[in-house]
Each structure stands twice: as structure tokens, then as C-alpha cells.
Structure 1
Amino acid sequence: MTYLIVDFEATCCDAGSVPRNEMEIIEIGAVALDPKSLRIIDEFERFVKPQRHPLLTNFCASLTSITQRDLDRADSFPEVLKSFQAWIGQFENPVFCSWGNYDKNQLLQDCRYFKVPFPFDEQHINIKQRFAENKGYRKGMGLGRAIKTMGLTFHGTAHRGIDDARNMARLAPHIFS
């Protein structure tokens, strides 16, 4: 088994111009964790060119630090998903993990929209929930707060897929042990 901690960034807007059901993945960030050592053994990061709302909103650019240029140079979701599936395929019994259920639901939504197969089996670990349960918290918290609660400093840029995935991996001893 290999834990694959995945974080997606998606098109968004604080003014309602991008409805929730039309949000699209614009970055895939993922790390593979060895289940014994809980160390990162590989990483995957790609930008994705959105189709329904191809122009990034100012809100989204500000939130994620992703630029329009990053997305204009990117491949479409079906193309990036093929690369992601190839990456997933190199691991024995990959287990999809994410901070909450948003990422799983966003991936399901994009796979349906683009009519491509979902790249994981049924198993999904909500590591936000597992972290809260393992630490005795009644409810989950945001990733930044969880990092701070454990006495750590957030590395990288919040709301960047790869940086969020790396920071989730830093919490692995509090999630998987």
C-alpha cells in the first residue's frame, strides 16, 4: 500500500461568476507516502487548463498564486489526468487521501464532465477527519490551523496543491499511526 495525499486547486470566484458545479481543477498536487516510514517517496504536480471558465478570476489568482500564464501553458484535464494515472499506477495499492472530501468530489465532478474514468478505486481516506479523531478534536480544522496546532510552520504557499500536499504529509504521524 502507498498513501497518495492529493490536493486540487480549482477555478473559483468570490462574486459568484464560477458556480460550484462549474469549478474545474487547475492544479493537481500529490505526494506518495511510504506507509511504514511515512516519508515522501515521490511527487506529482501539474497545472490544468480550465475549459468552462478559462480566464482565472482575480480572487482565484490571489488565493492560489496561480497565474493565467500558468494555465494558458497547461494541458487539458483529460491529458493531465492521463499523466496522473500513469503516476498513480507505479504504486502498489495506492490509497487516495485528501484533507476533507472536497478533493474527491471535485475529481469526481471533473471526471464526469470530461467523460473520463475516475483514477482511484472506492477507497478514500479523509485525513482531515482522521487527524481530528486521532487528536481528540470534536470537529476538523483547516490545514493551516492543524499545522500550527502541532507546533509546525506552514511550508510554501497555502492553496497551492503541491505545497498543501507536502504539508499534509508532515502531519502523517498524527494521521496514520
Structure 2
Amino acid sequence: MIRGMEQHLLNVVDVEATCWEGQPPPGQVSEIIEIGLTVVDLASLARVGRHRVLVRPRRSSVSGFCTELTGLTAREVAGGLPFDEACRLLAAEHRAGERPWASWGDYDRLQFTRQCRAAGTAYPFGRRHTNAKAVFTEARGLPKRPGMARALELAGLPLEGRHHSGADDAWNIAALVLTLARSGNWPCEQTR
């Protein structure tokens, strides 16, 4: 890839994690089971890559509630990568440590931080993170931060795919990022 083009790329990330209708069962913790990543070219204002990484949970299992919400089954994620390998893949194939990145809210960044710390795994991302939900809220002058599906409605954009699928949500968040960029509301330098 041409170095100049790389400077305009942004990784939009959305994760899905093990979850339960109430509290986690004893001994289980919420763990990332899917990483959705859409690459956005801020120069051409286009989504240029769509990726999905399944992650095998180590300290939890996929509940029926989780399958209903995300569409992910225990069998499906059992074939995923171990978390540390998924982090290495993000760094190697998606330049996660070099490219700025964005997520809808801070949940994804904090979940990676917690899980990397608990697993003793190197954090795969760099420091240039943008909370797209905060940028959208400020650009629209909204009194409170909307969820992604509501933000799509407000922007007049369709919800593509399944809500609570990491790959589909990253794709949809990228559409919101591009709407912000087209209107001049996306920050030029992404920071935490």
C-alpha cells in the first residue's frame, strides 16, 4: 500500500462479548467473542475494507441470551482465535497500533484494555482513538448520546445487516463516520 494512502486510513472497530440476561454465572467474565473492523479511507470518503475476527472465549461461555442478541453460537466461537492471537492479527494485518481508530462509545476500548490486562496480552491499538458517538452527539447538538441504530435513523442512513453483529455494526458505524467527515465534523487528528 502506498504510504500516503495509509495516512488517511481509519479502523472502525466494534466488538461483541459474552453476555447474560442478568449477572454472569459464577466464575465467568465478559470476554470478546467477535471483532468487527471496517477500514475507512478519509481521503476518498469510502469504506474500503470489511473484516470479522471470531475469538474463542477462555473464561466464559456463550449463553442463549448472547446467541439471541448477537447471532453468535458457542460452536461458532469455539472455532475462533485465542484472544492473544486475535490481538496480534489486528496489529499485523490491520496495523491497529499505527492507524487511528474509532468505536461507538468507549465500551470497545475499555473492553480491550480490561481483557488485555487480564490475559497479559499486549494492547493492539495505538493511542489515537475517537469516540464516534461523542463526535456525532456534539456535531448534532443532541442533549444525550444516541445508540448506533438511533444515530443511523437521525442521519437518514439504513441499518445494514444485523444489529449486534460486530462486523455489521462496524460497517454501520463507518457509515456514520463518513457522514461526519463529509460535513467537516470528523476530527482531523484522532486522540483519546
The 1:50/1:139 distance shift into structure 2, 3 A limit, reads same
CA distance in 2, matches of 1:7, 1:92: 16
5+ residue gaps, structure 1: none
Q: Does 1:171 align with 2:152?
A: no
| Preserved contact between residue 131 and residue 174 of structure 1 (Cα < 8 Å) | no
Matched letter for residue 35 of structure 2:
I
| Preserved contact between residue 97 and residue 126 of structure 2 (Cα < 8 Å) | no
The equivalent position to 1:45 in structure 2, one of 38, 46, 52, is 52
TM-score by length of 1: 0.91
CA distance in 1, matches of 2:127, 2:150: 29
Partner of residue 156, structure 2: 151
Q: Does 1:118 align with 2:123?
A: yes
| Preserved contact between residue 3 and residue 32 of structure 1 (Cα < 8 Å) | yes
5+ residue gaps, structure 2: 1-6, 185-192
The equivalent position to 2:81 in structure 1, one of 50, 75, 79, is 75
| Preserved contact between residue 44 and residue 87 of structure 1 (Cα < 8 Å) | no
CA distance in 2, matches of 1:23, 1:16: 10
Partner of residue 28, structure 1: 35
CA distance in 1, matches of 2:121, 2:97: 22
Calculate the aligned-residue CA RMSD, in Å.
1.8
| Preserved contact between residue 44 and residue 84 of structure 1 (Cα < 8 Å) | no
DSSP 3-state at the match of 1:44: strand
How far apart are residue 38 of structure 1 and its match? 2.1
The 1:15/1:32 distance shift into structure 2, 3 A limit, reads same
Deviations 1:155-174 (A, max 9, x none): 10000001001011111233
DSSP 3-state at the match of 2:52: strand
The equivalent position to 1:108 in structure 2, one of 99, 104, 113, is 113
DSSP 3-state at the match of 1:171: helix
CA distance in 1, matches of 2:180, 2:103: 11
CA distance in 1, matches of 2:67, 2:17: 10
CA distance in 1, matches of 2:19, 2:54: 15
Matched letter for residue 78 of structure 2:
D
The equivalent position to 1:160 in structure 2, one of 165, 170, 173, is 165
TM-score by length of 2: 0.84
CA distance in 1, matches of 2:104, 2:97: 22
% same residue: 34
CA distance in 1, matches of 2:113, 2:140: 29
CA distance in 2, matches of 1:166, 1:32: 9
How far apart are residue 16 of structure 1 and its match? 0.8
| Preserved contact between residue 101 and residue 130 of structure 2 (Cα < 8 Å) | yes
